[in-house]
Amino acid sequence: MIIFLKNEGINFVVYDRQIILTPSDVSSLSAALQQLKITGTVTDENGKPLPGATIQIEGTAVGVLSDVNGKYSIDIKNVNAVLVFSFVGFDTQRVSVSGRTTIDLQMLPKFQAIGRSCRCWLWSAKEKRCYRCKQVL
Q: Is residue 118 part of a domain?
A: no
| pLDDT at 137 exceeding the cut of 50 | no
Are 29 and 57 part of one and the same domain? no
62 plus 96 within the same structural domain = yes
Pair 69, 15 in one domain = no
**Percent residues over pLDDT 70 in the chain:** 58
Inside any domain, residue 125 = no
Sheet hosting strand 105-106, strand order edge to edge: 71-75, 37-43, 105-106
| Distance, CA of 74 to CA of 56 (rounded, Å) | 9
Distance CA 55, CA 5 (A): 35
Tell whether 128 is covered by a domain. Answer: no
CATH number of the CATH domain containing 49:
2.60.40.1120
Which structural domain range is residue 66 located in? 41-111
Residue 135 domain flag: no
| Domain assignment of residue 48, yes or no | yes
Instruction: For residues 48 and 98, state if they share a domain.
Output: yes
Residue 136, pLDDT score = 44
Looking at the structure, tell me whether residues 46 and 103 fall in a common domain: yes
30 lies in the same domain as 49: no
Q: What is the mean pLDDT of the chain?
A: 77
Contact 134, 117 (CB under 8 A): yes
Q: Cite the beta strand spans of the chain per DSSP E.
A: 10-15, 18-23, 37-43, 54-57, 63-65, 71-75, 82-86, 93-96, 105-106, 117-124, 129-136
For residue range 59-118, what is the model confidence (pLDDT) as tens digits?
A: 999 999 999 999 999 988 887 899 999 999 899 999 999 888 899 999 998 865 555 544
